[in-house]
Structure 1
Amino acid sequence: MDARVNLLNGLPVEAAKPRRPSRAEAEAAVRTLIAWAGDDPSREGLLETPGRVIRAYDEFFAGYEQDAGAVLSKTFKEVGGYDDIVLVRDIPFNSHCEHHMVPFVGKAHIAYLPHDGVVGLSKLARLVEVFARRLQTQENLTAQIVDAINEHLNPRGAAVMLEAEHMCMSMRGVRAHGASTVTHRFTGVFAEDRVEQDRFFAMTGTR
């Protein structure tokens, strides 16, 4: 057991969470950022902007209130003995880079080899949303999706690939417009068998 404590309040490290600001405090922070950008938060066009931004954040980061286990909780076992790849490709997603808090936008390809039933196809798209609607890195997002599939579906193998454009690269810094970042992770049979990997790449049209 980790005996480390938070020096500020004496609570165990894993139990110490920052206080969530009130909506009024969050809106005040937006006004501060507007002023920092060089504009006047009290002018007509910006008066209601803080409220709009916070409502948008309710959507952008709704994943913190969602649970992957609940999304994948219902499975179907009457599938006529089907035990081959189940793949949903080109699932659109958008997330926010945790380093600059700007969007990255792309598509996900998810596959698994059933072991004890299958999940509704729309649930795989919902699973992507659970983790995408948080502050993220693409690498972490990839790992979280495949780990949730393994934990809750117990497949013989799982494969996840994400392709995305990061606004932190295209809008700032090097401004590499159109650059695409690709991440993937294989587990189980997909990690062990190159033939299964090749089938995944062929079915997603990525090779």
Structure 2
Amino acid sequence: MDARTKPIGATPVTATALPRPTREEAEAAVRTLIAWAGDDPTREGLLETPARVAKAYGEFYSGYEQDAGVVLSKTFKEVGGYDDIVLVRDIPFNSHCEHHMVPFVGKAHIAYLPHDGVVGLSKLARLVEVFARRLQTQENLTAQIIDAINEHLGPRGAAVMLEAEHMCMSMRGVRAHGAATITHRFTGVFAEDRVEQDRFFGLIGKR
């Protein structure tokens, strides 16, 4: 099994079963897809498209080279005894569906109850990027984010909610434009206490 298919939270993901194709092989594959779509990869407007697509893929899937543990490695313990909910909402993200390799775009809401310090707020947005910039399902993305928070911050509880529109539904198939998919997961105190769940939903405006 290619390691890129495994839900890994702490380490960057690298291909182990199959060698990574060269840049030239990737560009050749793009030319094949262009021809399969019905166009001529040698015409002027498409000559540089394979190189552009290969470069874009490097950005779209840069999460395979990133480490969630590094992103969450630095915490701050001098917080004046603060131990209540820390929440960052409306974190924008875009990812690519692993079934059709088309985008899904949305926002993430992340909360946790600190146990031994807090992490920089921007790191939560960075954490979303680590996992979003891989081939994904929304369900798996939700789980990877909260698992990384639990593993590296050890909070008393965590909550993650993702809202996204999937282009595989709006651009093809049923073409359900504007349909939103919502996933969420609670751990620790959030999983055990309905009051904390309601507080989370209230803070993100979903109550």
Q: Deviations over 1:62-102 (max 9, x none)?
A: 00000000000000000000000000000000000000000
Shift of 1:134: 0.1
TM-score, scaled to structure 1: 0.92
Return the alpha-carbon distance in structure 2 between the equivalents of residues 206 and 25 of structure 1: 47
* SS of corresponding position for 2:152: helix
Task: State the secondary structure of the residue aligned to 1:131.
Answer: helix
Q: Report the counterpart of residue 21 of structure 1 in structure 2.
A: 21
Aligned partner of residue 186 in structure 2, secondary structure: strand
Which one-letter code corresponds to 1:40 in the other structure? D
Deviations 1:88-117 (A, max 9, x none): 000000000000000000000000000010
Matched with 2:12 is: none
| Separation in structure 1 between the aligned mates of residue 18 and residue 151 of structure 2, nearest angstrom | 28
Aligned to 2:122: 122
Match of 2:142, SS?
helix
Q: Aligned runs of 1:1-207 on 2, under 5 Å?
A: 16-207=16-207
Give the AA of the match of 1:197: Q
Give the TM-score, by structure 2 length. 0.92
1:41 match: secondary structure: coil
- Runs of at least 5 residues in structure 1 that lack an aligned partner in the other structure: 1-14
TM-aligned CA deviation for residue 19 of structure 1 = 1.1
Aligned partner letter, 2:106: G
SS of the residue aligned with 1:109? Answer: strand
> Match of 2:101, as an amino acid?
M
AA at the equivalent of 1:173:
G
The SS at the match of 1:31 is helix
Kindly report structure 1 stretches of 4+ aligned residues shifted beyond 3 Å. Answer: none
Distance 1:16-1:65 versus aligned 2 partners, 3 A rule? closer
Shift, 1:17, TM fit: 1.7
* Identity among equivalent pairs (%): 89
Give the superposed CA RMSD: 0.8
Q: What is the aligned partner in structure 2 of residue 9 from structure 1?
A: none
Larger Rg: 1
After superposition, give the CA deviation of every residue in 1:173-198 in whole Å (9 maximum; x if it has no partner).
00000000000000000000000000
- Cα offset, 1:169, TM superposition: 0.1
Q: Which string of whole-angstrom CA distances, capped at 9 and with x for unpartnered residues, describes residues 142-184 of structure 1? A: 0000000000000000000000000000000000000000000
Distance 2:67 2:46 in 1: 35
Whole-angstrom CA distance in 2 between matches of 1:153 and 1:174: 41
